[in-house]
Amino acid sequence: MEYLLAFLVGGSICAVGQLLMDLTPLTPAHVLVLFVSLGAVLSGLGIYEKLVQIGGAGATIPLTGFGHSIVSGIFEEIDAKGAVGILSGVFKNTSMGIAAAVFFGFVMALLFNPKE
Amino acid sequence: MSAQDPNLDKKLYYWRVQQKKPKPPVLRNTLLAFIVGGLICVLGQAVMAFFQSLGMTAKEAAGPTASVMVFLGAFFTGLGWYDELGKFAGAGSVIPITGFANSIVSPAIDFKREGFVLGLGARMFSVAGPVLVYGTVTAVVVGIVYWITKL
């Protein structure tokens, strides 16, 4: 059941992204930026956490989930330390993903060459 | 066209472009994005279930799951398979975090010949950079609002 929900929620988020790419002049880069910001706002409103509880990885794997991870880290830090948390929480829950992206991105770019 | 209304030419041009531009097969694209994006999330769910089976909570498993998905996205981009998937999956391959990894590796490989610092190093973030910038800025503003409402 949780796999079906992950499929439905994740698929729906991607379908919305595709509609934006097809029906508006937005490029994939614009859609990614829009989605990460949208995820942050929905997280702040308490909506995205509910979506995570329903969809699991279907909500955390799309880039909207990345915005949610940043905000959830900030909120946790604010609750624990006050105003300092506004900045100290940014990479609290996202550090692993970002570090992996930089490290694996670099290694793969080193190992592989452009396709002709 | 009369010279009185310079916007008229622009409007006419825009209208003609809209007429000639090939219409994307919206329904087909959306369905493919839904299926491929959904399947990538199912894979993510399976990876998360694996980490949970090691005794992690769902929250603790999120970071390792993101890292594995980023690794897979980066690796399959290197092999050239991820861009093949992108040709028909569109947003289904762009929106998941594997697509974020793809957006890092793809330009890094292409611009490697321009050097390791200004080519590979700089171009890695041509798309991922804006994502981090706007994600961080939006989240910090949301954080400030949350902090103020808590005072």
Please spell the DSSP secondary structure of B53-89, one letter per residue: HTT--HHHHHHHHHHHHHHHHHHHHHHTHHHHHHHHH
Q: In the structure encoding, which two tokens stand for residue B125, read together?
A: 């973030």
Spans of all domains in chain B: 25-150
Helices (H), A24-112: 28-44, 47-55, 57-60, 63-81, 85-88, 95-111
B89 to chain A: nearest residue by CA? A18
Whole-number CA gyration radius for chain A: 16
* Angle at alpha carbon of residue A14, lines to A105 and B139, rounded to 5°: 65
3-state secondary structure of B144: helix
Local confidence band at A52 (pLDDT 50, 70, 90 cut-offs): very high
pTM metric for this prediction: 0.89
Give the model confidence (pLDDT) of A67-108 as tens digits: 999 999 999 999 999 999 999 999 999 999 999 999 999 999
Residue A116 has pLDDT above 80, yes or no: no
Largest Cα–Cα separation, chain B:
75
Tell me which chain A residues have a C-beta less than 8 angstroms from the C-beta of B58.
56
Mean pLDDT of A7-23: 97
Q: How far is CA B42 from CA A16, A71, A73, B106, B151, in A?
A: 18, 24, 25, 24, 41
Spans of all domains in chain A: 2-111
Indicate the helix (H) or strand (E) that contains B123.
helix B122-123
Mean pLDDT of A4-9: 98
- Say yes or no for a CB contact (<8 Å) between A109 and B108: yes
A95 to chain B: nearest residue by CA? B63
A28 touches chain B (CB under 8 A): yes
**Looking at residue B147, what is its pLDDT?**
98
**Looking at residue B17, what is its pLDDT?**
79
Residue A109 has pLDDT above 90, yes or no: yes
**Looking at residue B3, what is its pLDDT?**
56
Point out which residues pair with B96 in neighbouring strands: A62
**Looking at residue A14, what is its pLDDT?**
98
CA distance A28 to B82: 15
* Angle at alpha carbon of residue B36, lines to B35 and B38, rounded to 5°: 65
Point out which residues pair with A62 in neighbouring strands: B96
Residue A33 has pLDDT above 70, yes or no: yes
Spans of chain B, pLDDT less than 70: 1-6
Q: Calculate how close chain A gets to B51, using CA atoms only, in Å.
A: 13
CA distance A14 to B63: 21
Nearest to B130 by CA among A90, A33, A105, A68: A33
Q: Calculate how close chain A gets to B5, using CA atoms only, in Å.
A: 26
Q: Which residue has the tokens 């699991």?
A: A56
Q: Which residue has the higher pLDDT, B9 or A39?
A: A39
A42 touches chain B (CB under 8 A): no
Shortest CB distance from A62 goes to which of B74, B96, B130? B96
Q: Calculate how close chain B gets to A1, using CA atoms only, in Å.
A: 11
